[in-house]
Amino acid sequence: QVQLAESGGGSVQAGGSLRLSCVGSGYAYSGTCEAWFRQAPGKEREGVASIHAGGYTTVYADSVRGRFTISRDNAKNTVYLQMNSLKPEDTAMYYCAAEPMSSLSCAGLRKSEFGYWGQGTQVTVSS
């Protein structure tokens, strides 16, 4: 059974950094898209970043490009989201997601295409 568990959220000042972790189990990273989504209260869940086949390709939403980095530690079966230069607009519940799919589909960061989700970890950025 595929399981994903996020951790690493917290409260930081604007300009600060956090690193989120997502430990996955029950699937092989080869051919799998792993991604981070976020959802603020009252807003739709949006894609943040994705990584395909354990790092073959990575994609970022325009809103986080240059500030966030997605990576994977295959030995730990963990996907990370390094978040630097955090802004109040980054405040949201962050979710890890995974689904076997093509690299092209993975780049689309469409939430409807992901079937496996973690429970989320809260990130709060204050001014």
Condensed to tens digits (0 to 9), the pLDDT of residues 61-117 reads 999 999 999 999 999 999 999 999 999 999 999 999 999 999 999 999 999 999 999
Which residue in 90, 111, 102, 100 sits closest to 44, CA to CA?
111
- Of the chain, the percentage scoring pLDDT greater than 70 comes to 100
Rounded Cα distance between 98 and 29, Å, is: 9
- What's the pLDDT band for 56 if we cut at 50, 70, 90? confident
Which residue in 74, 62, 45 sits closest to 107, CA to CA?
62
Contact 52, 108 (CB under 8 A): no
